[in-house]
Chains A and B, each alone.
Chain A
Amino acid sequence: MAFTLGEYQDIFLEEADEQLQELNQNLLELEKNPDDIEIINNIFRAAHSLKSSAAFVGLNDLSDLAHKMENLLQGIRDKTLDITPEVVDIIFKCFDQINGVIETVSSGEEPKQDLTWLMDEIQAVSEKAKPDGSEKAKTGTTRGAMSGEDMIPKTVLASDDRKNIKRGLDSGNSCSEITVFIDETAQMKWVKAQLVLSNLGKIGKVVSTMPHAEDLTDDVMSGVFKVIYLTDNSIDDIKRACNIDLVTRIDIKSITISRKEDKLVIQFGQNETFLSGDDKKNEKQYDFKSSLSKGDDGDFSSDSEEEEEDPTELIINAELESKSSAKKPAEREDSDRKKITVLKTVKVSIDKLDLLLNNVGELVIANSGFYKLYEEVRKTVIEKSLINEFKSRMEQMSRIAKDLQTGIMKTRMVPIGQVFSRFNRLVRDLARDFNKKVELVTKGEETELDKKVIDSIGEPLLHLIRNAIDHGIEGSDERKRLGKSELATVTLNAYQGGNQIFVEVIDDGRGLNLEMIKKKALERNLATRDMINSMDNNDIYNFIFTPGFSTAEKITDISGRGVGMNVVKEIVGELNGNVSIETETGMGTRFVLSFPLTLAIIPAIMTKVRKETYAIPLSDVIETIKISESDVTTIEGHEVINLRGEILSLLRLCDFIGIKTALGKDQKIPVVVVGFGNRKIGLIVDYLEGKQEIVIKSLEQNYTTVKGFAGASILGDGSICLILDISSMINQVIIEQEKISRMDRQRIIEAGEAEVEKTADLIQEPTKPDKPADAPKSGGSSFTTDTGRVSIAEKLQPKAQEPAPIPETPVKMEEKKPEGDIDELEMFDDSPKPVTKLGDDGDVDKKVHEALENFKKELRDNIKATMDTGSPSEHMVASLSITKEDLNNFQVIANIGAANAAESLSKIINKRIDLTIPEVTVMPTEQIPKFIGDIDSIYMGVMLPMIGDAKGTLLFIINEDVGFQLIDLLYGTQTSKTKELTEDGESALQELTNILGSSVINVFAEKTGLKIKPDLPSIVHDYLQSVIDSILVLHNLVNDYAVVMDTAFFFENDQIIGNLLLLPEAESLKIIVDRMGSNGGSN
């Protein structure tokens, strides 16, 4: 049989928990601001109610402890005790003990904690902390020594009280002063006092008490108290009300008020004393006293035996008192009012809410069935008005159901502040343990989270904070040495972004030790060195979530076992959340936990593979696009596309669920780009159906977790659709993606971007449930124009129809980059590999990307302008039977190709690259060398033959010096070290050209639909003339004229890098141009 405290146990436990939290919170505040009387009062109040409620449910030990604690607090309040760390500690210890008792009770056991040691300790501390050592008669023990008679408090009436008395008397009640004596030996006299008061309250009105009601609840005030009391009941009734166990004596004096010289005069009647324990005696005394009181029933007030002051004195006293303390009651009222502003709440178990939510979910689903029914009914029923009525009712129902749903959802939302506040104490204690100075800063406490998250988030936060303080934050000395403020901060921050809630734990400590993590990962065989080398930092940081992973040199009882982070990951994962890490050495670490806004009902994108419906939680969806089969590159069985310069691994949902796709070969493939954490993949589905709100039903409830599925949902028609677990799918794919080598990745990136068609409307505009969104059927090519004439510029700049004034010479384009966008220092770093700065990786990439986008845009703007320039002389054109228009069209593509190439180049050497607008000209072959540069200088030329449907040569010509420079950059050797072209240097340049060329060639292949591939590059290192000559030899020249696309690349300091020449064979040029036209038209 479980131990229970009776029917009020639950209320008590809940309240006690809250009060403890409040106490902890306030005490921490107090430690910081020892003089803030408001805080002390708050503590006092909470400690007090804790004491009362403990006594109420019969936890007397607890109540006694709380009482001792209160004594201590009283000392603080009266400034007889200093707030020393010892005092605060002992109070914290009390809180812990109380908490212990409460936990024992809530676990259904009888609390058997021995609290006496603590009480003794309190006593010791309170003695010690007295500033002057002189005993002020405040503590219970000293009080106890006083004799009963001395302890009778003086009757002091505030003006308010007097008014009340007067009002009471006017309305026919009798007023009396009751003095109650409680047995000296009685435990917890205040409880008795409260009982007396509450008894009295039942039959009349308590005007005031001496000591004041608040103090009456404290043993300090000993066993005697006075009550000024209004009632229409007889003295007997009063006596009966007061006469409870252990009350030894009751004195009752009647009070009357009269007016004397503009002053209210309070007159006390004769004392009537009742002694309990001996009824006869009581009766006798009563008789005697009552007769006395009758005799004294005049205008005169008379002293009681105990009352020292005479009435006049009392009046003066009262006047004085009313002046000095007139504000006091008002203040009290104020503070009372403050307390009242607390929202009235009903506590409901989360299970009930869940059940309710489930039911409402069902209601919403059931309701959507009506729509179907309505459609059916509409067909058969002729009565229009009936149908309309049906429809309006149905809509009303669905509205109400939705409201109900939102309403219940909201009831589950709880501000996170209550979780945060718990950690003040933890941080304080940990900081003390580690001898560090740490401050906890909390932000966004009002952010609301699902109760389920709130209930579970405590543990992950606890681990993160522990780790932050133990490992993250340096010792005070080290911090000083590093020039950091000695006081470290741990910040808890919560905020909402989109339909995610983010909770951050930020410390300003030393940051994660990347090398150490790598080392440990290797030691523990979590990855091979190769794997680690190819991983980015974020992946490496993620190792810390592995069970048992710890970089701590020694294990403390706080952390270091490597359990914590794993727990974090797991719990957050259970809540459909995610953890990401941002860290910077020496600056600190930020853990970001993200959670979906609500857990039970989520918006999702409905997808189909054949006839099976699968839901993807919208929170995981980044975008939906359509690609064509040709965009997909396969590397070692792993499919990827290049999405706007990023490698996106693909997962075919049909493979994942083990059925065949219904998609035809030539159909555009719908891809849902999903992300989890900083990972994303593309999920290939058959159809996109639209957005829908779904209720998550767990599969575990009746079965078990199924790999790849987060749960199931019941749709409007009663059928079940499965909800994909994106995180597990991503993890699976990412493992495969890791296997792709750096080089392959690079190649994919350089291979040109997949032409994607955004189907963003799917995400932005919620479509009606049940009604599949029309999957866009048109192809995704950018060549859709009415005329069949292809003009990328037109497509991207639809308004720039009229040709701008045309400059005669090629315009050299400077990349317009906002200053400081990219860290200049980084750009000139010696390292050839992209410099990975913590946390900034993505940023730089993004900025480069942005800048290049801008550039491309400008380029396209200018294409218009340069469109008609460089018109080849008529006879040359004629001899090649190429029209001017053909050349223009060719140039359009060439532009894109060149821009792509520049982007690739910029990425490879991690520097900003400028380029000229590619110029397409027809020129006599012999003039080509002049066209490029100094005939007599030594150049390196890398040739990349184009093979396939269209033939030609791509030539990257660079000055010898620049060539060496590039090699230096690529290998990361010291600048201007390379002076001769080694085999390694050659292959570096070849690879570079390969990448550059591929990005150009791919554009052509893509735009024309032709199969064009780069062949093996070869290098010529000679005088320019010879370089060109050797090309011309290889190049299938049937004419004296050649079409040349030329673009020059520059470093940002205007130093020329080299020229990229594209020399298509005349025949191929025609093919390309034709295909461009037809391709554009067909789409």
Chain B
Amino acid sequence: MDLNELLNKQDLISKTVEKEVAGEEIDILTEGRIIQLVSFLLDEVEYGVDILAVHEILRFPDLTRLPNTPEYIKGVINLRGNVIPIVDVRQRFGYKDAQVTDLTRVIVIETTEKLVGLLVDNVYQVVRIPESHIDPPSELIEGVSEEYITGIGRLKDRLIVILNISNILFMEEEKTGSDKQY
């Protein structure tokens, strides 16, 4: 599924979460550089990843379990001949497990030349946000530690937690990794 398709799906998703976001983007065009984020919701908290890092978005794929890795590594998938790991964002951020639904998506992102899939409950929308509306990470947000966050975007009444994707995969790897092995 590519981004166009995603944009089409967007409406559908918006309806399901009953949020009206149209019209927001118009008045921010004048406020400096604009960053586009692909956002997703986890238990009512909206997270965003820079759209430039997003490679593609997939439906829930066939996973191959990858033993001896931290629990948040759900497994690996075959993306056109590439073996890429899937990070369960819920587990990574300490949320409770959720069921795989029709809306479950994998956001494939590219970070430090690696492709990583982020398993999320849904893809909410593509958000345009001026750089000036992004604050540095300050306090802990729902247990998500600062290392994973590059900033917090303010958009009217919404807050979007912008993720530091390069840290999602590897931070605390050693600690968690060795704990689990045997």
Contacts and interface: CB of A to CB of B under 8 A. Distances in A.
Interface stretch (A146-154, A700-708, A896-904): A700-708
A149 B83 CA distance: 76
Interface residues on A, range: 20 to 34
B111 to A, nearest CB: 10
Interface string A357-378: 0100110010000000000000
A707 B68 contact: yes
Contacts of A361: 81
B25 interface: no
A658 B67 CA distance: 7
B170 A722 contact: no
Contact of B78 (A358, A703, A714): A714
Given A712-B64, A719-B62, A719-B78, A706 B84 contact: no
Contact of A722 (B66, B73, B81): B66
Contact of A699 (B65, B76, B169): B76
A117 interface: no
B170 A704 contact: yes
A701 B83 contact: yes
B116 interface: yes
B101 interface: no
B38 interface: no
Contact of B66 (A365, A698, A706): A706
A701 B67 contact: no
Interface string A603-626: 000000000100000000000000
A722 B114 contact: no
A709 interface: yes
Contacts of A721: 64
Interface string B169-182: 11001000100010
B65 A704 contact: no
A362 B67 CA distance: 25
B84 A612 contact: no
A743 interface: no
A931 interface: no
A1073 to B, nearest CB: 47
B77 interface: yes
B69 interface: yes
Interface residues on B, range: 20 to 34
A714 B81 contact: yes
A714 B66 CA distance: 14
A712 B64 CA distance: 10
Contacts of A1075: none
B172 to A, nearest CB: 13
Contacts of A703: 73, 76, 84-85, 114, 116, 169
A712 B67 contact: no
B84 A702 contact: yes
Nearest to A711: B83
A358 to B, nearest CB: 7
Nearest to B177: A707
A720 B77 contact: yes
B115 interface: yes
A45 to B, nearest CB: 45
The listed residue with most B CB atoms (<10 A of its CB), out of A362, A659, A720, A721, is A720
A697 interface: yes
B82 interface: yes
A770 to B, nearest CB: 16
A750 B76 CA distance: 46
Contacts of B65: 612, 657
Given A703-B76, A720-B78, A657 B68 contact: yes
A950 B65 CA distance: 49
A707 B181 contact: yes
Nearest to B111: A702
Interface string A713-735: 01000111110000000000000
A358 B80 CA distance: 12
Contacts of B114: 701-703
Contacts of A718: 62, 78
A659 B81 CA distance: 27
Contacts of B62: 718-719
B81 A702 contact: no
A720 B116 CA distance: 16
Contact of A656 (B67, B77, B115): B67
B94 to A, nearest CB: 21
**Closest 9 interchain pairs by CB?**
A657-B67, A720-B64, A703-B85, A702-B84, A712-B83, A707-B68, A702-B114, A697-B83, A702-B115
12 contacts: A358-B81, A658-B68, A698-B83, A699-B66, A699-B85, A701-B83, A702-B116, A704-B173, A706-B67, A708-B68, A712-B76, A720-B76
Given A656-B67, A702-B85, A709-B66, 19 more contacts: A362-B81, A365-B81, A612-B64, A697-B81, A698-B83, A699-B66, A699-B85, A702-B115, A703-B84, A704-B173, A706-B69, A707-B177, A707-B181, A708-B67, A709-B68, A714-B81, A714-B83, A719-B62, A720-B77
